[in-house]
């Protein structure tokens, strides 16, 4: 009974079936938004209008489709697929490799007629053919009147390496899902931050108590006034507040400290800082009027006489200026840094208060996954190595010679003709 079960797991058709199931589940996880709030699913997948007639928010929650890659059944599919690949390697691939290494002499004539190419020669050509086979890096085995040769045996290892690499990728995926986490922090410039806003985390993950500080944030623009890149100068602090490491990060260039990655992801503006005539600092908050869909913020600076009178400040960049409109929406001009404006009192525009968006994540499975893809590339290269076999048998004063290969048949035929010409 156990042998039948193991044979089923090692069956290629079973492996393909499990792989298709994993692919189907991954497609579902791509289509359905992952790790969102319950309200999001209630809005997008209402009970009275289910998608495809069956997918509503309660089905999504019950089946765990809101976090497909962390469900027990997805882990079970991955483990089954990994076991199938492992057993296939031990029960099929390794035995076939051992068979390929053995001397497979042809003791009768009939097997020659089943080869892809074969012919009959005079015995006088025997030594020349052996010499040419040796020059072509064939391994030669000779017994009585029989000869067996092969080369490119390493090409037969490629399927085993493929299985090994896929197992590494699966193990890395499971480790990342169990022990990794991802957080998102919006931090004003010059302020400190802690890992608090956890977006996703595995059931066995340990959230680091790391603290940090955003020393500076700035944006570079192209000649056409579009954003070229945005940067954050951040420091990672120890428990006493001392700086451990400091680095300027930008998109696709994170800071890495203690296997935690700090990515630059977003930015925002949170306020404008002014100084009045008596050297007092006044800050006015900025509001994104398009709810973060567009980078346009505004603020209202009222006069001291009445709250209904004042000016509107609109800003959409960090180039050091904002636009001024009156209460009727009429454009009054631009206000630049260190420039004065009169609104019941004299105000000097000192600073645009910005904040940076940091994505903080750790995934201990990444090195294992990268190793898996490395071995997958190695297996792809090895798979191009042709495994060729040549047999000879002497009968009376003649030699029967034939051969076969697993790929590149035309090149093998040319090589075979060079042996016998």
**pLDDT value for 2:** 65
Mean pLDDT score, 340-360 = 87
- The pLDDT of residue 373: 92
63-83 mean pLDDT: 85
Phi, psi torsion values for 362, nearest 5 degrees: -140, 140
Mean pLDDT of 163-190: 88
Q: What is the pTM of this model?
A: 0.68
Helix (H) or strand (E) holding 198: strand 198-201
pLDDT tens digits along 278-318: 888 888 898 887 765 678 888 888 876 666 778 889 998 88
> What are the angstrom distances between the C-alpha of 68 and each of 59, 84, 168, 275, 337?
13, 22, 20, 53, 50
- In this prediction, residue 106 carries a pLDDT of 82
Q: List Cα–Cα distances, 261 to 219, 252, 253, 370, in angstroms.
A: 21, 11, 10, 16
**What proportion of the chain, given as a percentage, has pLDDT over 90?**
10
Give the domains, in start order, of the chain with CATH numbers. Answer: 2-95 (no CATH), 103-152+387-420 (3.30.310), 164-265+357-374 (no CATH), 269-354 (no CATH)
């Amino acid at each position: 009974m156990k042998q039948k079960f193991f044979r089923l797991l090692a069956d290629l058709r079973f492996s393909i079936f499990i792989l298709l199931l994993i692919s189907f589940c991954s497609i579902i996880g791509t289509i359905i938004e992952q790790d969102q709030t319950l309200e999001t699913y209630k809005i997008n997948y209402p009970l009275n209008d289910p998608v495809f007639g069956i997918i509503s928010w309660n089905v999504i929650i019950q089946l765990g489709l809101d976090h497909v890659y962390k469900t027990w059944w997805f882990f079970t599919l991955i483990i089954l697929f990994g076991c199938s690949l492992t057993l296939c390697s031990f029960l099929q691939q390794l035995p076939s490799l051992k068979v390929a290494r053995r001397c497979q002499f042809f003791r009768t004539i009939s097997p020659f007629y089943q080869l892809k190419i074969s012919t009959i020669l005079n015995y006088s050509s025997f030594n020349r053919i052996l010499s040419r086979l040796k020059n072509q890096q064939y391994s030669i085995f000779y017994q009585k009147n029989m000869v067996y040769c092969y080369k490119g045996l390493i090409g037969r290892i490629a399927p085993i390496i493929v299985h090994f690499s896929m197992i590494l990728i699966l193990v890395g995926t499971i480790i990342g899902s169990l022990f990794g986490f991802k957080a998102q922090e919006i931090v004003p410039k010059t302020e400190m931050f802690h890992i608090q806003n956890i977006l996703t985390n595995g059931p066995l993950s340990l959230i680091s108590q790391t603290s940090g500080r955003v020393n500076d944030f700035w944006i570079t623009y192209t000649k056409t006034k579009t954003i070229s890149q945005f940067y954050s100068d951040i420091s990672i602090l120890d428990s006493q507040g001392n700086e451990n490491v400091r680095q300027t990060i930008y998109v696709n260039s994170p800071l890495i400290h203690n296997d935690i990655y700090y990515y630059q992801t977003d930015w925002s503006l949170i306020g404008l800082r002014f100084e009045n005539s008596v050297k007092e600092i006044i800050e006015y908050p900025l509001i994104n009027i398009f709810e973060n869909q567009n980078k346009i913020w505004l603020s209202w600076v009222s006069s001291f006489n009445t709250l209904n009178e004042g000016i509107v400040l609109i800003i959409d960049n960090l180039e050091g200026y904002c636009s001024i409109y009156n209460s009727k929406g009429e454009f009054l001009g631009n206000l630049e840094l260190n420039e004065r404006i009169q609104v019941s009192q004299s105000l000097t525009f000192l600073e645009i208060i910005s904040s940076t968006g940091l994505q903080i994540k750790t995934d201990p499975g990444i090195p294992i996954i990268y190793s898996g893809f490395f071995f997958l590339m190695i297996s792809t290269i090895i798979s191009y190595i042709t495994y060729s076999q040549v047999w000879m048998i002497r009968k009376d004063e003649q030699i029967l010679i034939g051969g076969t290969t697993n790929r590149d048949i035309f090149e093998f035929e040319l090589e075979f003709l060079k042996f016998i010409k």
